[in-house]
Structure 1
Amino acid sequence: MQERSGLISIAVPCFNEQKGIRHFVETLTPVLETLGHPYEILFVDDGSTDDTLAILTVLANADPRLKVIGLTRNFGKEAALTAALDFVSGDAVIPMDADLQDPVELVPCMVARWEAGAEIVLAHRQARPGDSAARRWAARRFYRIISRLSAIPIPADVGDFRLIDRKVVECVRQLPEKTRFMKGILAWPGFHSETLEFTRPPRQTGGSKWPLWKLFNFALDGIFSFSTAPLRVWTYLGVALSLFSLGYLLWVMGKTLLLGVDVPGYASTLSVILFFNGIILIGLGILGEYLGRVFVEVKGRPVYLVKSTVGFDTKT
């Protein structure tokens, strides 16, 4: 067994969490006290429009183990988590949500696995009773699709809640892409991983900040960021349609030579034109998705901007 006594960092992206942030700290802190490790809790306020940042500032000023980063605006959870990984100091890092849907009781189990040699400890959601049936169905479909399309294995039903060793954090910090799909980015380095099973509890406060349309766009980011399969599909589809068109052309020529010329039907011609125009537009849309991501990367803008920090020394 590998003995470790390093710092444990909890990374918490926050957006409009004023109702539950104190309860989160009060629930998490006693669990961290039992670990036998020094710890820090790093909050990243992602441009909250309520009093989340003010409350976090008060909490951090009262407890030196709490640190706060305030972003200049809402950059999105993926950017906030990126900022957290850039600023944490721990030998092991555990990203968590502030709504307590990531059970704090799993943290000691994760640390125990890490002490035993695991470099990544995944928290696999066996059930999600707090989510709607539509959301659960969409999640299953997404993980099934991306597991088939992605060039790297992305664990199904595993969110950002996991333990990652410092060496994994350093690898992730080297990845420069601006469109951040953190589930894929955290899986990309590899390393030895183990899995813990849990049932995700209902949200303690507030509601989901991820409506279905936003989840759909997030799923597209994941697919287009970690797979070129959509582009390859259109190559295969183009070849298949070309062969079909050639066969149909030969059939029409043979029918015309043998049976004479029929008066072409307006409805069938229009249907064929509309069908192939739809295919072309879908293909252009997929090309546009990839081109848009190239455009974002080429501009080279930062993933996030920091407005304020609390609890860091002057060197940070």
Structure 2
Amino acid sequence: MTQTLAIIIPCHNEEENIAVFYHAVQKALAPLPAYQPLFWYINDGSTDHTLMAIQQLQQADKDVHYIDFSRGFGKEAGMYAGLQNAKADLYVIMDADLQDPPEMLPEMLAGIADGYEMVGAARVDRTGEPILRSFFSNLFYKLMKRISQADIVPGARDFRVMTPRYVDAVLSLSEHNRFSKGIFGWIGFKSKYLPYKNVERQYGQTSWSFTNLFKYSLDGIIDFSDAPLTFVSWVGLFSFVTAGLALLFIVIRALIYGDPTPGWPSLVSIFLMFGGLQLFALGILGRYIGKIYIEVKNRPIYIAKEIK
């Protein structure tokens, strides 16, 4: 019995990779005639000829579909849109740049056949990436492992095969501020990850700069942990105790040695310490409040110009 396999591919300026990716997946699935791939390309505000390349591919294969966003909404919105619109027996999320090896699909599908609800891929190294970027990526995963309620596997990619039940659980979390790695780890179900070595992009340049990745990491921490708020509370307590000891020291010193400018050192110490602490705490609270503000607006996660 043939099973349909919806392959969700978020794309931003990937015109050179569209056809290459399509043929690579077809080749990887050729030994598995029991699976019929349905390609769902998500054009996330591309400024090159990505949409044209998808449309040309669609003319040759009726199993190629696409969603064209009205503007760029980000990869998270692209994954959500693909999962929401595609209908199939199994679902796959992959990047168009072939950093997610299609050769892993047979083993991942075998895992689903063995009873897993989700089989994903996790990089065991970061060969080819800048050292600083790799360091902070590893640090982020270790931090999330400690403070988050979600089971986030180090090196985990968005590349994964999922059952409809798993996908329904993902879609039930319809929050606007999406951090899918956290969502995948939070919903549970019987899952496993297959290790693989890093693969560099086929063509083009990544749109994920260090700044974008840093912001994405902050979103992940805020979306799945209240640890920053707890941290601020402890910093507040520490600052209060430290300021009290400093004030006591200043008073004792003034009584013993005198003070040519009475009150000035103690006031400056207190103002600087508590002023900086308040700004720091307000910054963290502002991030959480900003997330709440976006959520209560209840805006759509994406707007599609065309679904075909």
| C-alpha separation in 2, matches of 1:136 and 1:90 | 36
| C-alpha separation in 2, matches of 1:76 and 1:292 | 18
| C-alpha separation in 1, matches of 2:265 and 2:241 | 23
| C-alpha separation in 1, matches of 2:273 and 2:243 | 13
Aligned to 2:96: 98
Q: 2:177 aligns with which of 176, 179, 184?
A: 179
| C-alpha separation in 2, matches of 1:245 and 1:270 | 11
| C-alpha separation in 2, matches of 1:153 and 1:235 | 25
Q: Does 1:19 align with 2:12?
A: no
Alignment of 1:248-287 (within 5 A): 248-256=246-254, 259=256, 261-264=258-261, 270=268, 273-287=271-285
Q: CA deviation at 1:244?
A: 2.6
Paired residue type of 1:80: G
Alignment of 1:197-236 (within 5 A): 197-236=195-234
**Equivalent position SS for 1:159:** strand
Deviates more, 1:295-304 or 1:90-99: 90-99
Q: CA deviation at 1:252?
A: 4.2
Alignment of 1:69-80 (within 5 A): 69-80=67-78
Q: Is the 8 A contact 1:71 1:308 kept in 2?
A: yes
Q: CA deviation at 1:276?
A: 3.5
1:210-266 deviations in whole A, cap 9, x for unaligned? 111111111111011111110111111112222233334444445555x26423596
Q: CA deviation at 1:13?
A: 0.3
Aligned to 2:65: 67
| C-alpha separation in 2, matches of 1:14 and 1:104 | 16
Unpaired segments ≥5 residues, structure 1: 311-316
Deviates more, 1:272-281 or 1:96-105: 272-281
Report percent identity of matched pairs: 36
**Equivalent position SS for 1:123:** strand
Unpaired segments ≥5 residues, structure 2: none
User: Scaled by the length of structure 1, what TM-score is found?
Assistant: 0.91
Q: Is the 8 A contact 1:39 1:90 kept in 2?
A: no
Aligned to 1:314: none
Q: CA deviation at 1:123?
A: 0.6
Paired residue type of 1:46: D
| C-alpha separation in 2, matches of 1:197 and 1:86 | 28
**Equivalent position SS for 1:38:** strand
| C-alpha separation in 2, matches of 1:26 and 1:237 | 55
Q: CA deviation at 1:278?
A: 2.4
**Equivalent position SS for 2:62:** coil
Q: CA deviation at 1:34?
A: 2.3
Alignment of 1:294-309 (within 5 A): 294-309=292-307
How many positions carry a matched residue from both structures?
306
Aligned to 1:150: 148
**Equivalent position SS for 1:105:** helix
User: Scaled by the length of structure 2, what TM-score is found?
Assistant: 0.93
1:69-89 deviations in whole A, cap 9, x for unaligned? 111110011111110111121
